[in-house]
Structure 1
């Protein structure tokens, strides 16, 4: 049943007009730079610290969080907030130590970093890796999760029916077109429209959380107090408010066993162990070695870039309130049979909560969800275009191409990428729905993260690292991730000094599956450790100082009082959160 009224549609259309109009205004202001490739791809030097911070959050918070993380909140609880809260520390680390290396050595793209520090072969391998990852994992999951969520709110058919699929496809195309409107204007248009997007995202997201908590309060007979609703959640389901999940026994579990659910949760978020393994690799690699993210800061000066990154870190602390709490509210309401039209599938939790919103607020919340989806699509498309145009096309095919031709080719690349993503997403060809959106992205990104992060970390801070070691590292990291995910248990068994594997059952597309796996964050940790050891061993056979090692300017590590204050505030808030929910 269609749950939206005319006023909801009016609010959404006004949001679209506002973003598109502002984007066009920014585009007209930079008309003189229309065929400047660095302005198109990087908005070089034109983004302020608040625009950088807002753009980072708008591009990061997408359907992956609104739908996927809310779903994990429904399934696991606050433990999933580690991805957001550890990101705040990761952004501080990037701002203090990584950004000076990039800016001192005039790095504008991640493949350029690899070419400058290592060689063309490493840069080309990673450019291809990133393009596959961005298109086949990130764009597809954002489109699928976003379109599924919005279809559930505006559609007139039940999920799984042909009518639902038709509406899903139309919305998917609509999201893609909206993102194209923003992306084709270049990085400056993306950056400044993201300020509006993040404002809509936060306001709409907070409104959804507030209403969800009041609905919980009403169902428990506590009036309409959001605070009372939050306390009711904590009292009713205290296990959903623990940051560290206890390690379950490794005995085989069946779907009817309560122990089965504990194993499934732990496989996704393996308690304290994840803080010594993949959690740091996920965040430092994502925020510091990712074209899609670092692109926003690479065109700015150090002070602006650093402040923007730390500002983004502070915003990350509040994101679980917006994207996780509605999922926990959905869990409690579903537990007490207060979500009659919800089937219990975790990625539907956020949409189920939105159904409670009154007229007008539904439109605002859908606008917030759309803002998150479109901002992420636009940022990802611009990164795909930047890497393919500057690091592959210009280098190998269009060496004589002028600035105008590069920008035009970049726009064609954007169009091609979104078409490919739609084709792979059309009937959930990649199985995103079965994995769960958030887990799908984290798991498959984790196949390349260990090798990539090892290569960047050693390349930045150890002058002896060689190009040969880098090639071995990126390939070995990928191979090890696949090995631990698919073959380690068969060769070494379920319990070893390195890991514990778990066997559980779950239903997927009507079939009962028995799965044995090691938590993927543990896989990432060991893949990274072994890769670093191999790279160090290979590099020790080379010169003591690699001729291509980066120049470090220690004066760039000095922090201004304002920066120190922001860092201290962030760390104090983070400490308080972990003390409260440990």
Structure 2
């Protein structure tokens, strides 16, 4: 395993950088309106094609948390972690058919604007602040940290902070051009991401094949992995019993078997893809047909993502088990970068380019969303109500720079403990504290005309409080097992001492919080008018789909069904 880069690696990476930078600059110069038009700067209104929307969704979604975090969970738990990607494909179908028509019909450009239009300014302001904090201190920081860790692991391991700054500057250059530049450069980014990711997976499987004496055959390597680690190719974990090992319990805590499909898995995906400024922003400036096609194209691409981001992690596990791979500190988050160390000259540069593409596109999209929410939903409404278009665009750019600086400060020495949690789990768990309340507000706000603003506030508070309660206190207060949940023992370091603590799988916590939040919101709304004056006007025609859209939906579902039948 070689961590040194040669001239071919640098050349491949520089070609990638020059291609993205020059194309982004060309798009920027071609669309000069983006300098002063807020809708164009923040939304690329009307200019993104369906393939640009779909590519941008994937490029923004697949980042360090997948390449590093999901690959790490592949190393730890196996193919079960693919549920996040494959259920996302179904979630995107739901978003395309039912959510996007509501947004576009009501001219919704930001998620806080949705809440203001449907409920009131109080709900919108609370959630704007929530989203800004979440995007900066959970998403932005984790992308920066995990991305720097991944690329640093490919070289000599001594340039973490330099790489972190480089990623921030690269993403800044793209983000300052606005959503149009982000969206169209993401087409290149996702191409590099997929090509480089597939090359890495192919060579990871080839290394496994060679290790088992089967020659340089990727298919033979995959077959060897199936035989050597069958437990890593099981989608549904069994519920732990009295004789279950601690390792299997730890896996179940992250991916709680069939129960997660009736609980948090849907909440994670519907909230992320349907109620998330960072994601929905790409489609909000398009017409309905273009937006739907782009979203469904992204859903189809999601079926491929576990091949790129998860299989290398399982390959790393097989090699590690047989003593052919060393992980820095034994951390699962180093699995992907450890596998990249096997790549030959040139291909290592391509893989670094793929990682960089994933990280930079996600960073650019994230800071643009932070900028959009701050400028349109905080600055314009509460700080400078008379701000003109040009002032708002420059305020948005300033917000981009500030967000990146804050992200760097908090990731410089991993002040948030991202590495100790495991990158992917860290993001899912802490995002999950507000997901149940947010999803309940959006679902009831869209499709139940009786939902009130008071119910929205009550739901937001209930969802957050219950998530914290079930995650942190329920086993001590309500016991380790009851009709709602089962808590399991795990080991944590408390005040320097290794201690056994009881924990409920966080996806189950999210499901319980969502259930009770819905009950609270319905109960509060029943005390209001039968039809809220702010309810959206819906009609069946909004949700009809064309035959071409239906064909894409059916193709996605058939492939997904086959995958679950194979690996159940």
Q: Deviations over 1:131-180 (max 9, x none)?
A: 0000000000000000011111122x5xxxxxx3xx11111010000000
Aligned to 1:255: none
User: Contact conserved, 2:46 with 2:285, CA < 8 A, in 1?
Assistant: yes
SS in 2 for 1:503: strand
User: Contact conserved, 2:134 with 2:431, CA < 8 A, in 1?
Assistant: yes
Aligned to 1:110: 111
Q: Deviations over 1:454-476 (max 9, x none)?
A: 00000000000000000010111
User: Contact conserved, 1:201 with 1:368, CA < 8 A, in 2?
Assistant: yes
Aligned to 2:458: 472
Aligned to 1:263: 249
Alignment of 1:313-352 (within 5 A): 313-340=299-326, 343-352=329-338
SS in 2 for 1:504: strand
Alignment of 1:48-63 (within 5 A): 48-63=49-64
User: Contact conserved, 1:250 with 1:503, CA < 8 A, in 2?
Assistant: no
The 10-residue stretch of structure 1 (45-54 or 5-14) with the greater mean CA deviation from structure 2: 5-14
How far the C-alpha of 1:10 sits from its partner, in A, is: 1.5
Change over 3 Å in CA distance of 1:543–1:210 after alignment to 2: same
Q: Deviations over 1:284-338 (max 9, x none)?
A: 0000000000000000000000000000000000000000000000000001111
User: Contact conserved, 2:326 with 2:338, CA < 8 A, in 1?
Assistant: no
**Is 1:423 matched with 2:409?**
yes
Distance 2:302 2:465 in 1: 32
Aligned to 1:497: 483
Q: Deviations over 1:198-244 (max 9, x none)?
A: 00000000000000000000111111111110010001010000000
Change over 3 Å in CA distance of 1:332–1:148 after alignment to 2: same
SS in 1 for 2:216: coil
How far the C-alpha of 1:505 sits from its partner, in A, is: 2.1
User: Contact conserved, 1:434 with 1:509, CA < 8 A, in 2?
Assistant: no
Distance 1:262 1:84 in 2: 22
User: Contact conserved, 2:303 with 2:560, CA < 8 A, in 1?
Assistant: yes
How far the C-alpha of 1:504 sits from its partner, in A, is: 1.9
Match for 1:536 among 517, 522, 540?
A: 522
SS in 2 for 1:297: coil
Q: Deviations over 1:391-427 (max 9, x none)?
A: 0000011111110000000000000000001011110
How far the C-alpha of 1:343 sits from its partner, in A, is: 4.5
Alignment of 1:77-96 (within 5 A): 77-96=78-97
Distance 1:2 1:511 in 2: 36
Match for 2:534 among 531, 541, 548?
A: 548
User: Contact conserved, 2:34 with 2:177, CA < 8 A, in 1?
Assistant: no
SS in 2 for 1:298: coil
How far the C-alpha of 1:5 sits from its partner, in A, is: 1.0
Q: Deviations over 1:364-384 (max 9, x none)?
A: 000000000000000000000
Change over 3 Å in CA distance of 1:150–1:33 after alignment to 2: closer
Distance 1:524 1:79 in 2: 18
Match for 2:553 among 543, 561, 567?
A: 567
Aligned to 2:196: 204
TM-score normalised to structure 1 length:
0.96
Distance 2:247 2:413 in 1: 28
How far the C-alpha of 1:553 sits from its partner, in A, is: 3.0
Q: Deviations over 1:23-60 (max 9, x none)?
A: 00000011134200000000001000000000000000
**Is 1:214 matched with 2:206?**
yes
Change over 3 Å in CA distance of 1:343–1:220 after alignment to 2: farther
Aligned to 2:230: 238
Aligned to 1:160: none
Alignment of 1:125-144 (within 5 A): 125-144=126-145
Aligned to 2:288: 302
**Is 1:42 matched with 2:43?**
yes
Change over 3 Å in CA distance of 1:513–1:28 after alignment to 2: farther
Distance 1:495 1:33 in 2: 56
Q: Deviations over 1:435-490 (max 9, x none)?
A: 00000000000000000000000000000000000001011100000010111111
Unaligned runs of 5+ in 2: none
Aligned to 1:434: 420
SS in 2 for 1:113: helix
Q: Deviations over 1:86-138 (max 9, x none)?
A: 00000000000001100111101000000000000000000000000000000
Distance 1:377 1:46 in 2: 21
Distance 1:21 1:528 in 2: 46
Aligned to 1:460: 446
Q: How many residues align?
A: 567
Distance 2:49 2:131 in 1: 27
SS in 1 for 2:112: helix
Alignment of 1:250-399 (within 5 A): 259-340=245-326, 343-399=329-385
Aligned to 2:512: 526
User: Contact conserved, 1:146 with 1:373, CA < 8 A, in 2?
Assistant: yes
Distance 1:422 1:136 in 2: 10
**Is 1:154 matched with 2:143?**
no
SS in 2 for 1:544: coil
How far the C-alpha of 1:82 sits from its partner, in A, is: 0.2
Distance 1:307 1:185 in 2: 25
Distance 1:435 1:14 in 2: 35
User: Contact conserved, 1:250 with 1:500, CA < 8 A, in 2?
Assistant: no
Distance 1:343 1:431 in 2: 15
User: Contact conserved, 2:206 with 2:218, CA < 8 A, in 1?
Assistant: yes
Distance 1:301 1:250 in 2: 55
TM-score normalised to structure 2 length:
0.98
